[in-house]
Every structure is written in structure tokens, then in C-alpha cells.
């Protein structure tokens, strides 16, 4: 959520900051702003709306021309309405300190009361404005010790934060710190960068520093210095940045969402690469080798995640329980740590997160570790906070996912869960013949997903017919019940149409009351062991004049007699079928949103990386 960019160097800071904000738009936001260090002081420019609006305003007012350093921000509103006043950066009373902030300051109410009593005047409704005023207050004690005032500020506030700060008296420096909200430094030649994630650095530098929590960086054109809260200098590791500039560009596609839907065969291949062993009929996951005995001997798995990753976890539960025979629970990370969970040394907790920065998932991970469980991760972003804090884990290697509505991360997460399931099942009960059959199916998944993508024209036709529908139902059984949930979520996210996912058999326990000739019902109906059961559920909807859209297998002729619209995809093993079956659901959501004229890559109110509770 939100995006921070900072630059100190020898180039045009305005151009670099605006470009950086554009690259971070996928994170979700509703206002934007920037601050420059000039010879006359700190200059601000802020606006409600898009980065394009900010860019136009900066250009028209000739703000920041020739300036070599500054900070910028995109805000996703938490405290205060999304307007220009509440947009970041925020200043102290004397316009000497400018701050941009991601996160939430939980004790801002009491601190604001204290600061008002000390004569401070606040201009916004935000929690963020506390920070420059606290720094101002603490500077009264030692006016020349900005680092000390910032340290004391960070020790006073509670909550989560990523901060970039300008000090009028140090025009070449940017200060930075973070806690439970990501912040990355990019090191260049006579220029250095700061951002919420590394996408603004692509094409500019390959050297990055993941700033440790509770440490403060001072960044200028000459270098980066890092200090802890005891004013001791630290020397964090410099790492190499993966990814290319092309990976965050749309290329021939109209939207990132469509590009990422079409990248799925390649990304599944990336998740599988080097991990399948055909002769042995198993998978080898190097990231789990050091904890493999703990995983094998676990009494229980717990999968903790949010949103689309939670749906991945639900499919994972079907996989792990059916094939590895290990009891598995799937928890909303946002609820997990607040219900006093029962955990111990025989439990293994998998935290799933595309960004590796999801605040609720990170908090649940820390709770699991504190209670003695083995904490593992399934993440996409290399070097992310979750990736660094888990004992071990699996990278899904899906590449940057820019579209807010997750697509390729879902199928890559399912592929990683399938690999874990295969390896466990082979050691526990699966035969060599079974293992080789699974390896064969996994190898064929990219081609089967390509075949499913070939049904795009069919989804376009259906989208035109149902674009004005007010409600959708998505129904599936077994591992395809979570697929139904994911299909409904995609439609809600990008088209703003109300949609609900249910187990197909649960329909008659309530949701069937919604069915009439105006409600399209999407059935996921692969030819598996409960195929006949789902056909019965289809008959129940048909009897009530519901419009039926079926996702079925290519060799299914019977479905054509029952459904109004059929999208056919290749058949695979039942527990792998969500990876193929979700493709037309993603395309359907995309094309309905396109027909409605929605902002597909930046859905209203949503953020890509949810770094606040």
C-alpha cells in the first residue's frame, strides 16, 4: 500500500521521482505528492488523484526544475479523506522537515494531544503528520542533532512505518527508516535511490540494500550510511537486483492484468524449473532441504495468507490432506494472531504472500515463530521481509506482478504447493508409478494452460452478454470450490460486480434463493470423481431459470446439453485442475471489466501490497 520514492544524485530528481511513482502505481493509491530540497528551502507539490495529475501540476508550476534530490509518495487513505491536504509529504510547523510515510502510527491520537499542548498546529487529518512535529519537538533539545531527534521519534511512535525524510538544514541528505513496512535502497554511481520496492530501480542500478528494521539510513549522492538507535554505524549487505525493465512494461498488451494472465505458462514453468525428478517420481525443493525432516514429521500444517493467497492455501489443503495425509488448516492471517492460536514445535506454518510484505501475514508469521512453530514461506519477491524472516521457504519465481488483481501469482503458488505435496506424498505413501504420473502431469501444465488461454474469444462473447449483470454466483466442489472463490474475487476486484463463490452442494442451503433468470451462475465442472454431483447442482439452477456458464473439460459432451455457455479446457489430475480451470475465470473477469470501461490495473479502493492492518 502506498509508494515511496527518494533520489539523491546528479540527475534531474523531478523526472526520476515521477517515473518512480508511475512504476509504483500498481500498489494502489488515491493521492500523490513530492518534496524537493532547494536553496530556498523545502518545496512541496501535492494533488488528489493520479500521478499524471501530479506530473502535470509540477510541470505547469515549474516546480523542482534543476533540483537533484527529493522524496515522493503515493497515498492510499487510512486516516483522513483522499484529498490534497492529506496527501504526503507533511511538514512541521516551520516547514523545516518534510516526511512521507507508509504504515499506521497507532498512538497518533495521544501524541497529537501532547504536541498540541506544546503549541504545535496540525494541517491534516493524517497520523503521518505526527512525525515531522515530533522531530521538531525533539530538535528543541539539541538543534544540531537531527539523527538523535529522529531516533527519539522512532522510539516514541508505535505501529508500522516506512519513512523518507528531508531536513532543510541538510539539503543533500535523505533520511530513511522502517518497521513492518518495506523500504529498499538502490546504490548507483554518484546517485542513490530509495523506494518501497525495487521496481523504480530497474534499469538504473543492480545494487540494492534491504534496510534492516530499527536502523536509520542517511542517503546522498556520495553514498549510504546506516546507523542503529544507539548511533552505531552498521554495514548492511549489498545484494543484486533481479528483474529487467521489460518485466514491468506492458509490451503488446493493453493492460498488465492481461499480460500477466498470458505469462502464466512461462511462470508455471519457472516455478517447476529444476525441481522435478522424473526417474525418482518426486520433486526436490532446495529451499526446504534444511527443514525437510521437520516437515515430514509435522503433526499439523497451518497455511496463513490473505486474499488470493488464502485461496491458494485452500487448494493446498485439499492437496496436502488427500495425498500427503497431513492435517492442514487454512487461516486468514488477519485473524490468526488475535485468537490466541494453539501452536507448538510439531506444527509447521506456511505463510503465503506474493509480495512477501503483507502486513497481516507477516504478523501471523511472527506469532507462529514466537509460539515455537516451524515458520516457512511461499513468496514471489526475492529478499522480501517474509522471505528473510522465515526459517526456510519456496520462491515461486513468477516475476513482477503489476496488476492489482493477482493472476499469475495464484497459479504459481498452486504449482509450488503441488511440488511440496508431491515430495511429501512420495515419502509417505505414493508409489514410484504414481509419482512419475504426477511429474508427467506437472510438466504438461504449461501447455494445458496455453490451451485454456486459447478460449479467450469465448470469454469475450460471454462478457458482452453479462457485462450489465448485478450479481454472479460461482460454484465448484472439492479443490475447485476455492477456484470458485478466486473467480468471484477476480470479478469483484476489477469489474465491481457483486459475486460470491460457494461449494456447489451448499447452494441449496441458502444461495439458491438468489437464482433467477437475471443471475449468471458459473460452474466449475471437471470430469472428476464428483462430476455427476455437480451436474445435479446444475440441474437445480437450470430448474430456476438461472443462466449457466460452465468451465468443463474438452472431452465432456454431456455438459453442452445443460449449460447455456461452455468454456472447455484440458483435463488434468483433479487436485491440479484449479491451475487450468482458473484461467477462463480470470479472462472472464478481465473482459467484463473491459466492457464496463473499468480501470483494470488500478481498481478503486484496492492496493497491491497491503502493508497496513
List residues with catalytic annotation.
2, 608
Decide the pairing of beta strands 471-476 and 520-525.
Answer: parallel
Burial environment of residue 544 by CB neighbours within 10 A (0 to 12, 13 to 18, 19 or more): middle
- How far are the Cα atoms of 149, 431, 490, 566 from residue 529, in angstroms, in the given order? 66, 21, 27, 20
Contact status, residue 207 vs residue 193, Cβ threshold 8 Å: no
101: Cβ contacts below 8 Å, ≥ 6 apart: 73, 88, 90, 128, 131, 161, 162, 163
At residue 176, φ and ψ (nearest 5 deg) are -145, 145
606: Cβ contacts below 8 Å, ≥ 6 apart: 28, 404, 405, 493
C-alpha cell at 273: 524449473
At residue 434, φ and ψ (nearest 5 deg) are -60, -45
Residue 249 DSSP code: S
CB neighbourhood size of 118 (10 A): 10
At residue 525, φ and ψ (nearest 5 deg) are -135, 70
Q: Which of 64, 56, 78, 51 lies closest to 13 in space, CA to CA?
A: 64
Q: What share of the chain is helix, strand, coil (3-state, %, to 5)?
A: 40, 25, 35
| Rounded Cα gap, residues 211 and 146, in angstroms | 19
| Rounded Cα gap, residues 396 and 408, in angstroms | 10
The DSSP bridge partners found for residue 217 are 176, 226
| Rounded Cα gap, residues 500 and 486, in angstroms | 10
In the sheet that 328-332 helps form, which strands lie side by side, from edge to edge?
Answer: 328-332, 300-305, 347-353, 374-379, 392-395
Burial environment of residue 229 by CB neighbours within 10 A (0 to 12, 13 to 18, 19 or more): middle
* Cα 570 to chain centroid, rounded: 29
482: Cβ contacts below 8 Å, ≥ 6 apart: 311, 312, 314, 315, 318, 476, 578
C-alpha cell at 28: 494502489
Burial environment of residue 545 by CB neighbours within 10 A (0 to 12, 13 to 18, 19 or more): exposed
Amino acid at each position: 500500500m502506498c509508494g515511496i520514492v527518494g533520489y539523491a544524485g546528479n540527475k534531474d530528481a523531478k523526472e526520476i521521482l515521477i517515473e518512480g511513482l508511475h512504476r509504483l502505481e500498481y500498489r494502489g493509491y488515491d493521492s500523490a505528492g513530492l518534496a524537493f530540497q532547494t536553496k530556498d528551502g523545502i518545496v512541496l507539490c501535492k494533488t488528489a488523484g493520479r500521478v499524471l495529475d501530479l506530473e502535470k501540476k509540477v510541470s505547469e508550476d515549474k516546480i523542482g526544475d534543476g533540483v537533484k534530490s527529493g522524496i515522493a509518495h503515493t497515498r492510499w487513505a487510512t486516516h483522513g479523506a483522499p484529498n490534497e491536504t492529506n496527501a504526503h509529504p507533511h511538514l512541521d510547523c516551520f516547514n523545516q522537515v518534510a516526511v512521507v510515510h507508509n504504515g499506521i502510527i497507532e498512538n497518533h491520537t495521544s501524541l497529537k494531544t501532547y504536541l498540541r499542548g506544546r503549541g504545535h498546529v496540525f494541517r491534516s487529518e493524517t497520523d503521518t503528520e505526527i512525525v515531522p512535529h515530533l522531530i521538531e519537538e525533539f530538535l528543541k533539545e539539541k538543534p544540531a542533532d537531527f539523527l538523535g531527534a529522529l531516533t527519539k521519534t522512532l522510539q516514541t511512535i508505535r505501529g508500522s512505518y516506512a519513512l523518507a525524510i528531508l531536513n532543510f538544514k541538510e539539503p543533500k541528505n535523505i533520511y530513511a527508516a522502517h518497521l513492518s513496512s518495506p523500504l529498499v535502497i538502490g546504490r548507483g554511481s554518484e546517485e542513490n535511490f530509495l523506494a518501497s520496492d525495487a521496481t523504480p530501480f530497474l534499469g538504473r542500478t543492480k545494487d540494492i540494500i534491504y534496510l534492516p528494521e530499527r536502523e536509520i539510513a542517511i542517503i546522498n549522492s556520495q553514498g549510504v550510511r546506516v546507523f542503529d538507535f544507539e548511533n552505531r554505524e552498521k554495514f548492511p549487505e549489498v545484494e543484486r537486483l533481479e528483474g529487467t525493465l521489460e518485466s514491468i512494461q506492458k509490451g503488446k498488451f493493453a493492460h498488465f492484468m492481461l499480460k500477466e494472465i498470458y505469462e502464466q505458462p512461462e511462470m508455471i514453468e519457472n516455478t517447476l524449473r529444476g525441481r522435478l525428478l522424473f526417474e525418482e517420481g518426486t520433486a526436490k525443493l532446495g529451499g526446504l532441504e534444511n527443514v525437510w525432516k521437520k516437515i515430514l514429521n509435522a503433526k499439523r500444517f497451518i497455511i496463513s495468507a490473505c486474499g488470493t493467497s488464502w485461496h491458494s492455501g485452500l487448494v493446498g489443503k485439499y492437496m496436502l490432506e488427500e495425498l500427503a495425509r497431513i492435517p492442514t488448516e487454512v487461516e486468514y492471517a488477519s485473524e490468526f494472531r488475535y485468537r490466541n492460536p494453539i501452536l507448538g514445535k510439531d506444527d509447521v506454518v506456511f505463510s503465503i504472500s506474493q509480495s512477501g510484505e503483507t502486513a497481516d501475514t507477516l504478523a501471523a508469521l511472527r506469532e507462529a515463530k514466537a509460539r515455537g512453530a516451524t515458520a516457512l514461506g511461499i513468496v514471489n519477491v526475492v529478499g522480501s521481509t517474509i522471505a528473510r524472516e522465515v526459517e526456510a521457504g519456496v520462491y515461486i519465481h513468477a516475476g513482477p506482478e503489476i496488476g492489482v488483481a493477482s493472476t499469475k501469482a495464484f497459479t504459481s503458488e498452486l504449482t509450488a504447493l503441488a511440488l511440496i505435496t508431491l515430495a511429501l506424498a512420495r515419502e509417505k505413501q505414493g508409489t514410484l508409478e504414481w509419482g512419475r504420473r504426477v511429474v508427467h502431469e506437472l510438466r504438461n501444465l504449461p501447455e494445458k494452460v496455453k490451451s485454456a488461454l486459447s478460449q479467450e474469444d469465448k470469454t469475450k462473447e460471454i462478457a458482452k452478454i453479462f457485462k450489465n449483470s448485478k450479481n454472479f454466483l460461482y460454484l465448484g466442489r472439492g479443490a475447485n470450490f476455492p477456484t470458485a472463490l478466486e473467480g468471484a474475487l477476480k470479478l469483484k476486484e476489477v469489474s465491481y460486480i457483486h459475486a460470491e463463490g460457494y461449494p456447489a452442494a451448499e447452494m441449496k442451503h441458502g444461495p439458491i434463493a438468489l437464482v433467477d433468470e437475471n443471475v449468471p451462475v458459473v460452474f466449475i465442472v471437471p470430469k472428476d470423481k464428483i462430476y455427476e454431483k455437480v451436474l445435479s447442482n446444475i440441474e437445480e439452477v437450470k430448474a430456476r431459470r438461472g443462466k449457466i456458464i460452465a468451465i468443463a473439460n474438452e472431452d465432456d459432451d454431456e455438459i453442452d446439453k445443460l449449460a447455456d455457455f461452455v468454456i472447455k479446457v484440458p483435463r488434468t489430475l483433479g487436485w491440479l485442475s484449479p491451475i487450468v480451470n482458473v484461467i477462463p475465470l480470470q479472462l472472464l473477469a478481465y473482459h467484463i471489466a473491459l466492457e464496463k470501461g473499468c480501470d483494470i490495473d488500478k481498481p478503486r479502493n484496492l492496493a497491491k501490497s497491503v502493508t497496513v492492518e
